[in-house]
């Protein structure tokens, strides 16, 4: 990632999306928060997003093109999947990077690979656990930087709610209902 590039963050108010907004800003990216409500977008903007796009009110592909003056997004951070994945890929800039983080929407998208050809872009799976095992020194360096930024108050690690372990079903209901803004934590 290079300072000045644009990054669209899908599910920007969730735990992973919110972290991406904060870290993107710290890395000098122009962060576009994408979420399903104005309340979530206001929250993401308070945590580093420069631009916002409500994909329940505006077509995701067209909105991302509008926000980049037709150029397209350099980086797409997608922990959502589902129908939003293809729409965002269609808005990627030439040579862009589409980061597959997860499938919070439940559906694993079937991406038309001709888009990767036409856009000259990369589609990359981001599996941190395996990467960390293969790259322990780089992982340690990254974690040290995160601890530093957290100690300086630059990263919030915002917790929306906590639940006792016995209420796991209630915690999952918050996540499935797309009600969380930040992390949902289980405790003993």
Tell me the two tokens of residue 118: 């036409």
DSSP state of 113: T
21 pLDDT band, cuts 50/70/90, is: very high
Whether residue 126 has pLDDT greater than 90: yes
- What is the rounded average pLDDT for all residues in the chain? 95
Domains and CATH numbers, the chain: 6-126 (3.40.50.720), 158-188 (no CATH)
- d(CA 125, CA 120) in angstroms, rounded, equals 17
Picking from 93, 61, 90, the residue whose alpha carbon sits closest to that of residue 74 is 93
pLDDT tens readout for residues 136-146 = 999 999 999 99
Tell me the two tokens of residue 155: 């990263």
Are 49 and 116 in contact by the 8 Å Cβ rule? The answer is: no
- pLDDT at position 52 is 98
pLDDT tens readout for residues 69-87 = 999 999 999 999 999 999 9
Task: Give me the mean pLDDT over the 152-174 stretch.
Answer: 94
Q: For 6-66, give the DSSP string.
A: EEEEETTTBHHHHHHHHHHHHTT-EEEEEESSHHHHHHHHTTT-SEEEETTTS-HHHHHHH
91 pLDDT band, cuts 50/70/90, is: very high
Task: Give me the mean pLDDT over the 156-185 stretch.
Answer: 92
């Amino acid at each position: 990632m290079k300072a000045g590039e644009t990054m669209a963050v899908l599910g920007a108010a969730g735990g992973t999306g919110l972290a991406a907004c904060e870290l993107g800003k710290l890395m000098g990216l122009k962060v576009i928060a994408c979420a399903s409500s104005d309340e979530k977008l206001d929250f993401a903007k308070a945590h580093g997003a420069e631009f916002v796009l409500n994909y329940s009110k505006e077509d995701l592909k067209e909105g991302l093109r509008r926000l980049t003056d037709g150029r397209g997004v350099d980086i797409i951070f997608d922990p959502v999947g589902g129908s939003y994945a293809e729409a965002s890929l269609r808005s990627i800039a030439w040579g862009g990077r589409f980061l597959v983080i997860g499938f919070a929407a439940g559906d694993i998208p079937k991406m038309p690979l001709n888009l990767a050809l036409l856009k000259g872009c990369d589609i990359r799976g981001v599996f941190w656990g395996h990467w960390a095992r293969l790259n322990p020194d780089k992982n340690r360096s990254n974690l040290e930087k995160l601890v530093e930024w957290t100690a300086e108050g630059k990263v919030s690690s915002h917790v929306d709610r906590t639940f006792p372990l016995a209420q796991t079903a209630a915690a999952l209901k918050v996540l499935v209902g797309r009600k969380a803004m930040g992390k949902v934590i289980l405790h003993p």
